[in-house]
């Protein structure tokens, strides 16, 4: 039963079994999670700004600079791209998370209490996914890691910095 209370920072490097395998792959899984979430978010922005990939959800491409739809789509495209690539990941993920919190509370919350009732599931999921990325860092496979010293890269991408108790 003590296994559930063991953080990845306290797991022995040679641990065997499923827990050991999952702990060893956490940085790569976090990196893949970041890439997928960033890609999906950037696709939403591209669809809204350029009327591609099925077009914007509202059906209308916003005029340049129109508040808040054009700015939200710009944040989605640029922020999602930065997160996907792993460039300025924590800053971009924080901005993306905040924009989705704004979208949820301004556009969805007034309709009903729960996301399933008000159509805000995507906004809520993106908000929490980006918050997770902002807190845990980019994981492996991030371009930022090319510009950091090796010891800082290891601390940042092994998932231990944010998960240790």
Res. 68 pLDDT band, cuts 50 70 90: confident
The Cα 105–Cα 21 span in angstroms is: 39
Q: Answer with the residue of higher pLDDT: 101 or 6.
A: 101
Q: What is the pLDDT of residue 7?
A: 45
Q: Answer with the residue of higher pLDDT: 6 or 98.
A: 98
Residue 63: how many other CB atoms lie within 10 Å: 8
Question: Which DSSP string do the residues of 138-154 spell out, in sequence order?
Answer: --SS-GGGGGS-HHHHH
Mean pLDDT of the chain: 83
Q: What is the pLDDT of residue 110?
A: 86
**Pair of tokens at residue 38:** 């960033």
For 131-153, the pLDDT digits (tens) are 999 999 999 989 988 887 766 65
**How many Cα neighbours within 13 Å face the side chain of 70?**
7
């Amino acid at each position: 039963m003590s296994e559930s209370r063991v953080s990845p920072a306290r797991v022995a490097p040679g641990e065997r079994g499923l827990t050991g395998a999952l702990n060893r792959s956490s940085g790569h899984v976090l990196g893949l999670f970041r890439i997928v979430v960033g890609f999906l978010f950037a696709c939403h922005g591209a669809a809204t700004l350029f009327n591609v990939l099925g077009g914007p959800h509202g059906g209308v491409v916003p005029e340049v600079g129109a508040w808040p739809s054009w700015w939200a789509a710009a944040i989605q495209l640029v922020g999602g791209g930065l997160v996907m690539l792993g460039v300025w990941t924590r800053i971009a993920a924080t901005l993306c998370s905040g924009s989705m919190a704004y979208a949820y509370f301004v556009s969805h919350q007034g309709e009903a209490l729960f996301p399933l009732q008000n159509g805000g599931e995507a906004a809520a999921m993106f908000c929490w996914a980006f918050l997770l990325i902002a807190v845990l860092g980019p994981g492996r496979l991030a371009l930022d890691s090319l510009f950091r010293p090796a010891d800082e890269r290891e601390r940042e991408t092994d998932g231990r910095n944010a998960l240790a108790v």
